Structure 1
Amino acid sequence: MEAFVQSMMVQLGPFGIGLLMFLENVFPPIPSELIMPLAGYLATQGDMNILTVIAAGTVGSLLGTLPWYYLGRRLGHEGVRRLARTHGRWLTMSPSDVDAASDRFKRHGNSSVLLGRLIPTVRTLISVPAGVSNMALGQFLVFSSIGTLLWTAALAFAGFLLGQAYSVIQDYVDPISTAVLVILVGVYIFRVATFKEEPE
């Protein structure tokens, strides 16, 4: 997997980073915890500037939040609850999960978007209650941008600071990232298998 991610970045440059981060948000095939540190490492090789890497990752990630935001905005609270009731097993999300997410958003508002973008797994889903609550698009983008920038910059600088040391551990990165993906898929299958339908 590490080889695939690296080839995308080498061939497509900043666009490849943005594309991978966009996909990571829409449907997480590859975790940002792999994409951005590797992109930061490539910046030490002179292929890209570290600021360009961070900007590409931030823009791609931010664009990836918009489909979820507009889904929440278009369907509204009851619509998302119906979606969760109808397809909840495959989304591993129940109507009560939707209620809980909306309640958290109402309590914490803008800060929940900013902080949510710094938490793995929550990073994408926080966009849905923001849309459901009709948070102004401008506000959503501002707070999402701040959280996204902090997240991508931290990961990119981690890879950048490792520099040449990354080449020492890169032989371990691919099997570890593959194992992480297998675990994520396993967790998803387990959640689907053990999902409990809520009564009407």
Structure 2
Amino acid sequence: MTGAGDGSLLSTIADWAVSLMESIGAPGAGIAIALENLFPPIPSEVLLPMAGLAASRGSFTLVEAIAWTTAGSVVGAFLLYGLGAWLGADRLRRTADRLPLVRGSDVDRSIAWFDRYGPLAVFLGRMLPIFRSLISIPAGVARMPLWRFGLLTTAGSLIWNTVFVLAGYLLGESWPVVEQYAGPLQFIVLTGIGLAAAWFITVRVRQRILARPRT
């Protein structure tokens, strides 16, 4: 179905997803997306168009493709939410105090930020590569109400999944075009993460240097 045989990682993931969908139908698409949430390196930008392509070939309906992939997104998100809740603020504070350049108070500030902007972060985060999985962990740490987390996750996932499933449905065998357009978005997100990390490290190192007693 993929028409790809170059042995690339993209082709391998696509072939695996196709095999799963052909074996058990639309639920296979849901399982693939649930795993993508747990392992962010698996790109939803590849799996979702494959579900749309399978729907265009009559393996299951377009509605089933969107419904099952969204269900998979929600299940994966709740598993990561559970991980965040298990970690908890106290455990993260103790861990942060043992790490260089990080403080327990950073955890408190992060939770305070999430209490204020968490709903928007969860909703929009579901439509960003990498963040669409990771945003569930701080939601669990902050113990966002389950009903709110579920509603926002479902809404954000439904938008993201519908766009990419429809793209695969309409493009058919030309679905790899989707990855060409989604790639720059992932690059922007990763670059932003890298710049934020560099800024954080620079500030903390500077604070350490200024705090040293002068002789």
Q: What's the TM-score once normalised by structure 2's chain length?
A: 0.68
The answer to whether 1:119 aligns with 2:131 is no
Rounded Cα–Cα distance in structure 1 between residues aligned with 2:39 and 2:131: 13
Q: Indicate yes or no: 2:42 matched with 1:30.
A: yes
1:60-113 per-position Cα deviation (integer Å, ceiling 9, x unaligned): 111001122112223322323445677x8xxxx997885675354233121111
- Bigger CA drift: 6-15 or 25-34? 25-34
Aligned length: 177
Say if 2:53 is the partner of 1:41. yes
Match 2:31 to one of 11, 19, 31 = 19
Distance (whole Å) between structure 2 residues aligned to residue 101 and residue 119 of structure 1: 20
Residues 159-170 of structure 1 mapped to structure 2, 5 A cutoff: 159-163=168-172, 165-166=174-175
Q: Distance in 1 between matches of 2:125 and 2:83?
A: 18
Pairwise mapping of residues 109-148 of structure 1 onto structure 2 (< 5 A)?
Answer: 109-148=118-157
Runs of 4+ in 1 over 4 A off after TM superposition: 81-86, 93-101
SS of equivalent to 2:91? helix
Would you say 1:4 and 2:16 are equivalent positions?
yes
**Deviation readout 1:133-166 (Å, 9 max, x if unpaired):** 1211111101110001111111101111113544
Q: What are the ranges of 5 or more consecutive residues in structure 2 without an aligned counterpart?
A: 1-11, 191-196, 209-215
* Distance in 2, Cα, partners of 1:19 & 1:95: 37
Q: Distance in 1 between matches of 2:119 and 2:112?
A: 13
- Residue 29 of structure 1 and its aligned partner are, at CA, apart by 5.1
Over 3 Å counting, the alpha-carbon distance change for 1:97 and 1:52 in structure 2 is: farther
* Gap regions ≥5 residues in structure 1: 185-190
Pair 1:85–1:163, CA change in 2 (3 A): farther
State the match for 2:78 in structure 1: 66
Relative to the length of structure 1, the TM-score reads: 0.73
Q: CA RMSD in A?
A: 3.4
SS in 1 for 2:59: coil
Bigger Rg, structure 1 or 2: 2
Partners of 1:123 and 1:94 lie apart in 2 by: 26
